[in-house]
Amino acid sequence: MDNCHYISSEMLSLGKVQQIITEGLTLEFSEESKINIQKCRDYLDNKMATNDDAIYGINTGFGSLYNIKIEKEDLSKLQENLVKSHACGTGSEVPEEIVKIMLLLKIQSLCYGHSGVQMVTVQRLIDFYNNDILPVVYTQGSLGASGDLAPLAHLSLPLIGEGEVNYKGARVHASEVLTEFGWETIKLQSKEGLALLNGTQFMSAYGTYILLKANKLSYWADLIGTMSLEGFDGRKEPFNELIHMIRPHKGQIVTAQRVLEFLDESEIIEQKKQHVQDPYSFRCMPQVHGASKDAIDYVTKVFKTEINSVTDNPNIFRESDEIISGGNFHGQPLALALDFLAIALSELGSISERRTYQLISGLRGLPAFLVSNPGLNSGFMIPQYTAASIASQNKQFCSPASVDSIVSSNGQEDHVSMGANAAVKALQVVNNLETILAIELMNASQALSFRSPLKSSPFIEMILKTYRSEVSLVEDDRILHYDIINTVKFLQTIQIEEDLMK
């Protein structure tokens, strides 16, 4: 089926996740995943029937209660109690787009056949995904080790008819949706609750969503920065490949090449310049934007590994006849990467705000605050304040979460990653970056109007024409809040014809 994605061991890329989400593909088991799940479950059932040894999380308590053996007749109740007791999330709701990615990644991880879940359990998660039944999950509660316990507990509650879901635009109790579809609640078997709750899918879903957005905004940063360079009557020599080949960082080279492509056939860039140099925020775009690109590439590699991994505990290896308790749930790789990503994105916003500041400063033939009658009109004075405020907030969000840890579970879980906190604030950073770039676009497009009759490149002129159909030129003061909002929408809706996803 063309509108279907078959869950298998085939490597998920960010681009594939984006395709699944944006094209509305439904999920189905591949034959491979069915075999993996069933063979693992059969192995575990046989192991439990023939073995009385204590196996962590399967017939024992959890965390510091690992030494308490649970009777066979209570194993199902043990798993149900686990899901209920761990549903302690607080704070705001996780955005529905991210919850949907959480479902996708949890399904993917369970289908490798190392988790011991029932086929019916994973099928129900697939049913939730395919019918846009999105559990209500909260942003606070995960330490990012032992997995994202609280968020994943809320993701799993609807399986047992508990918790709330967002469905058809309404927030309803999960039992109502189960009744509507004629679904029975899932009776969790040994190990299943732990398989559902142990895992990094909260952090992974946030990171995946942020990276998808970050790649697009990295492109926009190059394009808008180039428009600002034109508006500021900047020079193109700093983008000459000779400079970048003697310091060949990949992102730096890509940025310089891209800027020159954007400038191709521009009249403005070719006119004689009255100045020898441009400020760093223009001249050093390849170095600064490029460093952020390289950081995004590194973080992409981390998350590509993670979303194609098994991260619950313990792990079942039927070929080796072993059930091993380890620590794949620990979010340290993600926590470090998310902190790094936030810093990289914050820097794109920081240099963008500086370009905005230069454009409104009354330099190089531009009027103060980019209006024809400054004084009577304040023009673009205050959007720069807004950008500066947001850029500074991003710097505050960049205090790393990953350097923090706190002891939990009576000392059994004595080092945690705090990757969930890193994920939540990294999302705020990327959303803030979008607004900062929108404000720069407002200023750059306004500045370019004062370079008439000279034209920028055909590509930039095309972007400007499309943008002006959404946000008109500012002749006299008006409420610029609406322009900011509409510019953000413009950045979100314009499709970038670029293979950004690795």
Lowest mean pLDDT among 113-117, 128-132, 145-149, 156-160: 145-149
351 and 231 housed in the same domain: yes
Phi, psi of 54 (to 5 degrees): -75, 125
pLDDT, residue 65, reads: 66
Cis peptide before 248 (omega within 30 of 0): no
Residue 257 pLDDT > 90, yes or no? yes
266 and 377 housed in the same domain: yes
Q: In which element (H, E) is residue 170 found? A: strand 170-173
Burial 385-418 (b: 16+ CB within 10 A, else e): ebbbebbeebeebbebbbeebeebeeeebeebbb
Residue 500 pLDDT > 50, yes or no? no
Name the domain boundary from 144, 177, 199: 199
Residues 236-242: what's their mean pLDDT?
A: 98
Residue with tokens 């991260």: 311
82 and 119 housed in the same domain: yes
> Which residues have C-beta within 8 Å of that of residue 312, sequence separation ≥ 6?
109, 110, 114, 115, 147, 194, 195, 196, 197, 198, 199, 328, 329
pLDDT, residue 58, reads: 75
Closest CA to 437 of 246, 291, 226, 241: 226
Residue 109 pLDDT > 60, yes or no? yes
What's the per-residue H, E or C state across 146-189?
Answer: CCCHHHHHHHHHHHHCCCEEEECCEEEEHHHHHHHHCCCCCCCC
The band of 236, judged by pLDDT with boundaries at 50, 70 and 90, is very high
The band of 410, judged by pLDDT with boundaries at 50, 70 and 90, is confident
428 and 386 housed in the same domain: yes
How far is 294 from 275, CA to CA, in rounded Å?
31
Residues 3-16: what's their mean pLDDT?
A: 94
176 and 221 housed in the same domain: no
In a domain, 332, yes or no: yes
In a domain, 356, yes or no: yes
In a domain, 301, yes or no: yes
Model pLDDT for residues 438-490, shown as the tens digit of each residue = 999 999 999 999 999 999 999 999 999 999 999 999 999 999 999 999 999 99
The dihedral sign for the CA sequence 329, 335, 338, 344: negative
The first and second tokens of residue 16, run together, are 């594939």
125 and 241 housed in the same domain: no
The first and second tokens of residue 471, run together, are 């946000």
127 and 256 housed in the same domain: no
How far is 339 from 27, CA to CA, in rounded Å?
32
Residue 371 pLDDT > 80, yes or no? yes
Residue 501 pLDDT > 60, yes or no? no
In a domain, 500, yes or no: no
pLDDT, residue 483, reads: 98
Model pLDDT for residues 375-396, shown as the tens digit of each residue = 999 999 999 999 999 999 999 9
pLDDT, residue 409, reads: 84
pLDDT, residue 392, reads: 98
Closest CA to 483 of 474, 475, 492: 474
Residue with tokens 């914050």: 346
378 and 442 housed in the same domain: yes
Return the number of other C-beta atoms located less than 10 Å from residue 355's C-beta.
26
In a domain, 462, yes or no: yes
pLDDT, residue 62, reads: 64
274 and 153 housed in the same domain: no
Query: Is 236:257 a contact under the CB 8 Å cutoff?
Result: no
Name the domain boundary from 199, 220, 246: 199
Amino acid 203 reads: M
- Mean of pLDDT over the chain: 94
pLDDT, residue 485, reads: 98
Model pLDDT for residues 37-83, shown as the tens digit of each residue = 999 999 999 988 887 777 776 777 666 666 677 677 777 888 999 99
Amino acid 358 reads: Q
The dihedral sign for the CA sequence 431, 436, 442, 445: negative
Query: Is 165:181 a contact under the CB 8 Å cutoff?
Result: no
Torsion angle of the four alpha carbons 355, 357, 361, 367, in this order, in degrees rounded to the nearest 10: 70
Closest CA to 110 of 27, 9, 228: 9
419 and 283 housed in the same domain: yes
286 and 181 housed in the same domain: no
In a domain, 98, yes or no: yes
Name the domain boundary from 174, 199, 224: 199
pLDDT, residue 497, reads: 54
Q: How many domains does the chain have?
A: 2
In a domain, 498, yes or no: no
Query: Is 140:401 a contact under the CB 8 Å cutoff?
Result: no
Residues 297-324: what's their mean pLDDT?
A: 96
Task: Report, as residue numbers or ranges, the catalytic residues.
Answer: 56
97 and 240 housed in the same domain: no
Domain CATH code at residue 232:
1.20.200.10
In a domain, 120, yes or no: yes
Show the domain range for 243.
206-313+326-493
Residue 220 pLDDT > 50, yes or no? yes
Domain CATH code at residue 107:
1.10.275.10
